[in-house]
Amino acid sequence: MVEALVTGERTTTATLDRGRGVSLWHQIASAIERDIIAGLWIPGARLPTEAEFTARFAVNRHTVRRAMESLESRGMIRIEQGRGSFVAEDVLEYPLGTRTRFSENIRRQKKEPQGRILGIETIAAEGAVATALGLRRGRPVLRVERLAMANGTPIVIGAHHFPLPRFEAMPAALAQQASITVALAACGLPDYHRVRTRVTARMPTAEEATLLHQARIRPLIVAEALNADPEGRPVDFTLSRYASGRVQIVVEGE
């Protein structure tokens, strides 16, 4: 039996054939993919809900969910917890070099950078933070958690660690503008350079997935970075968690 599939505001030429041995979820995924490629939904657009697709294709929700998971695994869509499914945007190229600056990287790709401070607190330097900043364990450091976005889409969560008392003016500077580079300049450091970056990957926590608007089944790109002032003194140890479906890390040569 062959049935016409309506996958958007118009009817696609694809058909749902319940007797040709191809799973229904695969046929549905293929039909949605064709409509995305044809431009029925632009990058970033919200897709119909599972319930709407269920009614449209006359199948159960499990079948639709399997189709959507397949599209997400291939990078066609992104599923955001509690918000729905969206057509995947173009992947940003994010260069890592001696002068890595989020705003500059984003503007080079003709997108508008934004930032939001999630929290600021003074903590005791321990483990990797103390080692990277060259501090004795227990010394105070300022921890700044920041969400960085491009055209309003979450890209990366950064946990920055600054030695105290050198950067005690950082909270006041960030209250004026949520830019780490601008805040460092306000603290008397107009320029700094990247000493090293270590890149790994892991699955997100529930909080990270929510902040980055991504599914728990998609891994994060994790980067540990150390920045130093022109004299070589450590000024910022950062743990960055990138939404892997939206970012491609590019390592630049010296």
CA dist., res. 119 & res. 144, Å (int)? 6
Q: What is the DSSP letter of 46?
A: B
pLDDT at 15: 58
Give the total residue count for the chain. Answer: 254
Query: What's the CATH number of domain 92-251, 3.30.980.20, 3.40.1410.10, 3.30.70.600, 3.30.1330.30?
Result: 3.40.1410.10
Q: Which amino acid is at 96?
A: L
Instruction: Please state, in angstroms and rounded to a whole number, the distance separating the CA atoms of residues 79 and 72.
Output: 7
Q: Distance (Å, rounded) from C-alpha 226 to C-alpha 249?
A: 17
Omega of the bond prior to 165 within 30 degrees of 0, cis? Answer: yes
- Position 19 scores a pLDDT of 66
Handedness of CA 148, 88, 108, 222 (dihedral sign): positive
CA torsion sign for 191, 211, 219, 109 is negative
Strands 92-96 and 153-163: unpaired
Residue 253 is predicted with a pLDDT of 60
Spatial separation of the C-alpha atoms in residues 74 and 28, rounded to whole Å = 15
- Domain borders along the chain are 2-87, 92-251
Which DSSP string corresponds to 157-191?
Answer: EEEEEEETTTTTTHHHHHHH---HHHHHHHTT---
- Alpha carbon distance 142, 154 (integer Å): 23
Instruction: Tell me if the domain spanning 2-87 has CATH number 3.90.1170.50.
Output: no
DSSP three-state, residue 135: coil
Tell how strand 247-251 and strand 92-96 pair up.
Answer: parallel
Q: Are the C-beta atoms of 211 and 154 separated by less than 8 Å?
A: yes
How many other β-carbons are positioned within 10 Å of the β-carbon of residue 104? 12
Report pLDDT for 254: 56
Q: How many other CB atoms sit within 10 Å of the CB of residue 112? A: 11
Contact 214, 204 (CB under 8 A): yes
DSSP class of residue 152?
T
Do 2-87 and 92-251 come out as alike in CATH topology? no
The per-residue pLDDT for 12 is 43
* pLDDT of 215: 77
Distance CA 46, CA 132 (A): 42
| Ranges under pLDDT 70 in the chain | 1-15, 19-20, 252-254
What does the alpha-carbon distance between residue 159 and residue 237 come to, in Å, rounded to a whole number?
Answer: 8
Has this prediction a pTM greater than 0.75?
A: no
71 touches 33 (CB < 8 A): yes
